[in-house]
Amino acid sequence: MIRVYNRHYRRLLKSALMAFILLPCTAIAQDQSEEVQEKKNVFSIDAELLTRGEIRSGGLANEGVDEDENIAKFILERTRLGLDYERDILKAHITAQHSAVWGQAGKGSLNIYEAWAQLKAHNGLFAKLGRQVLSYDDERIIGSNDWAVTALSHDVLKLGYEGHGHKVHAIFAYNQNSESVNGTTLYLNGDKPYKTMQTLWYHYDFQKIPLGASLLFMNMTVQGGKESDLKAQFNQQLLGGYAKYDDGRFGVEASYYRQMGKAEQGIKLKTWMASARGTFSPNEKWRLVGGYDVLSGDPKFPVPGQGQIGLVQHKEINGFTPAYGSHHKFYGAMDFFYVTTYHNGFTPGLQNMYAGVEFSPVKPLKLGTTYHYYSTETKLNNLGKKLGHEIEFTASYDVLKEVKVSLGYTFMAGSKTMEALKRVDHERNLHWAWLNVLIRPRFLSVRW
């Protein structure tokens, strides 16, 4: 009897001791959980360190240059430091950016790349004010253009709604060359070519199928003429749409846009572009890509001889301008099209047919190759439409989550038409190689 009583007493004593040890731990865990829930302020500091070395053999404007002197070598750098703050419905972000060439006199460019604040209600309505990156759909018309070390950002007010598969964004911008006491100032050669800009974007994601579709309308006011002629303002509009279907195995995307209104010279603007792209992934390692872009061009495009000036009076402009997109992403890695201008400023348009393959033998490694065939959209004086061939090879490897190394090589064989339009030697094969290192560390992340 005494033995049973002692056994029962020991069990009670053990249970009491366990309760004495575990209850404070449980209370501490509960307090910590409540403390985490009460921490409504989030602050972080991030950086981006980009270094890219390039070697170009052949390229733009090489008239009268010996082949040995035509090889360009340089190293670009871009450094960004970003601050993020978030609390309930408020978000704020600031990014300082420095870009330069290694060894550059004047030590490059230092500016504020982003500086914005956003209020977002729980019902999906939001307002975002300040300098910000605009990126829509495939970035063909509006994008960050992040390949360029300076990239693109805009000073705008963005109002919108996002919820239940719907996204609606309204964007407004008004630019000045400087602060003025009386009236307004002419906006020529500013950071952005538009004086004012209004954009409306609508996107819908279908619920039962992996399909998304967008509509985009943009109105821009540009100024031209003499600086004293403030009435020389012209409005130009862009209207179009984009759709993408991707079920993980098959993917199709297409877009169509038209431009209208008047250009800077007051000449009527009537242009268009269309694109189609398809992808097929037989498994996780392989992906096939193919597509076609066509951008309208100006008829009676003058192609003057070396050292001559071509003069043609245009009653309207028919050459499409893809606004503020990420052009390097679409029209070839050597950036001959829609990054640099043609010899006399107008454009005969572009037809870009391409096909490629992507291969990932292991998850951190990606390999790819793409072939492009280029031709003009309009017929030229005494020249054919063919511009040339380009083949690109790329590779990228994620060393760490924050560290990515990529490299590429591009070869282009141009035509006589390419030589006339871009002043490149068609008898000389063009080469371009690059090595890119991108590091994105997070220095600090705190809650309180």
pLDDT digits (tens, 9 = 90+) for 35-83: 445 678 999 999 999 999 999 886 555 444 555 556 889 999 999 999 9
Alpha-carbon gap, residue 395 to 161, rounded angstroms: 38
pLDDT of 14-31, one tens digit each? 554 444 334 344 443 444
Its pTM stands at 0.85
C-alpha 234/C-alpha 268 separation (Å) is 10
Q: Residue 191: pLDDT above 80?
A: no
- Residue 278's pLDDT is 98
Q: Are strands 316-317 and 268-280 parallel, antiparallel or unpaired?
A: parallel
The answer to whether 315 touches 265, Cβ cutoff 8 Å, is no
pLDDT of residue 34: 45
Q: What is the rounded CA–CA span in Å between residue 274 and residue 441? A: 39
What per-residue string of b and e applies to 190-205 under the rule 16 or more CB within 10 Å gives b?
eebbbbbbbbebbbbe
Question: CA torsion, points 362, 364, 365, 366, in degrees to nearest 10?
Answer: 100
Using the structure block, give the residue that is written with the tokens 């390097």.
328
Tokens of 290: 């193919």
- pLDDT of res. 316: 86
What is the average per-residue pLDDT within 341-350? 77
Q: Tell me the backbone φ, ψ of residue 40, rounded to 5 degrees.
A: -95, -10
190: left (phi over 0), alpha (psi -120 to 50) or beta: beta
pLDDT value, residue 178: 77
Is the CB of residue 124 less than 8 Å from the CB of residue 168?
Answer: no
Region of 423 on the Ramachandran plot (φ > 0 left; ψ -120 to 50 alpha; else beta): left
Extended strands (E) in 164-232? 166-174, 196-205, 211-223
Domain ranges of the chain: 1-38, 39-447
Q: How confident is the model over 132-152, as a mean pLDDT?
A: 94
- The H or E element that residue 10 is part of is helix 2-38
* 328: Cβ contacts below 8 Å, ≥ 6 apart: 145, 147, 148, 335, 339
Residue pLDDT, tens place only, 153-186: 999 999 999 999 999 999 999 988 778 777 676 6
CA dist list (Å): 393 to 27, 242, 388, 407, 414: 59, 28, 17, 8, 18
Q: What is the 8-class DSSP label of residue 328?
A: G
Range 39-447: architecture per CATH: Beta Barrel (2.40)
Residue 13 reports pLDDT greater than 90: no
